[in-house]
Amino acid sequence: MPVYTYNGQHVHYKKLGSGKPLLMLHGWGSNSDVMLPLATKLSKTHTCYIPDLPGFGKSPAPDTAWSVDDYSDLTLSFIRDLDLEITDVLAHSFGGRIMLKLCARPGAEEQFGKIIITGGAGMKPRRKISFYFKKYMAKVLKAPFLLLPKRLREPSLDWLRKTPLWKSLGSGDYQKLQGVMQGTFVKVVSEYLEPCLPKIRHEILLLWGQNDDAAPLYQGQRIEQGVKSATLITIDQAGHYAFLDQPERFRLIAEAYYSSSS
């Protein structure tokens, strides 16, 4: 497995196929392996590059907590240092955050050919009032100025942790992480990318699973509305990993898009 080094950070990546370069970016908590079945199909027309982003797969975590911009800087350097010239892109979930950031940067979009974002993250989620109630209740219970006795504070927090909405506060994902990746997670999920959308002039195809519950369809619709040259296609009977749930349909759409003229 080749290794790319960026400012001392080692990034393992897979490379397969021949033809025009295609950069494939995985989602949060995933790695290059999940993209491999689709890459194997697309490698007939493209040279596929699939990095394990820092902190995932075989790539070690960064020394300090990274933001989406840090991952974006890495991605742009990867493209330029490997001389990929104008590369097509297929980005899933967290990879979609990276691409929205890059496409909004002046000049950076010139590095890209055709872009597909599937199940892309980064839009502010819709929340029920009960979510905010429990979120701010947790903050109040932890507030140092309140000085609640431990015998009162801890049972209250335990009750919050046992409620279904606790997971929706991000605590479930956060608790699974260790070390610097906890700080990275906070930086990533705390930044909403709606301000990037009006700056994007690049053509983007949004492929969304109709039943995506991690990045619900309304988030894809919001990106389509905010990006001038974005088109949204939904895939029935597919969730957040539409390229795994409906691999043949996803592949056919991707191949047709990548082979079409601009």
The secondary structure element, H or E, covering residue 189 is helix 180-189
* Rounded mean pLDDT, 140-154: 50
Percentage of the residues of the chain whose pLDDT score is greater than 90: 74
Q: Give the confidence band of 126 by pLDDT, cuts at 50, 70, 90.
A: confident
What is the distance between the alpha carbons of residues 86 and 75, in angstroms, rounded to a whole number?
13
State residue 262's pLDDT score. 58
Closest CA to 93 of 237, 189, 190, 172: 189
pTM score: 0.84
Give the per-residue pLDDT at 107.
85
User: What does the pLDDT look like over 49-107, one tens digit per residue?
Assistant: 999 999 999 999 999 999 999 999 999 999 999 999 899 999 999 999 999 999 999 98
Q: Return all residues near 227 (Cβ < 8 A) that are at least 6 apart.
A: 197, 200, 204
Closest to 235 in 3D by CA, of 224, 222, 223, 251: 251
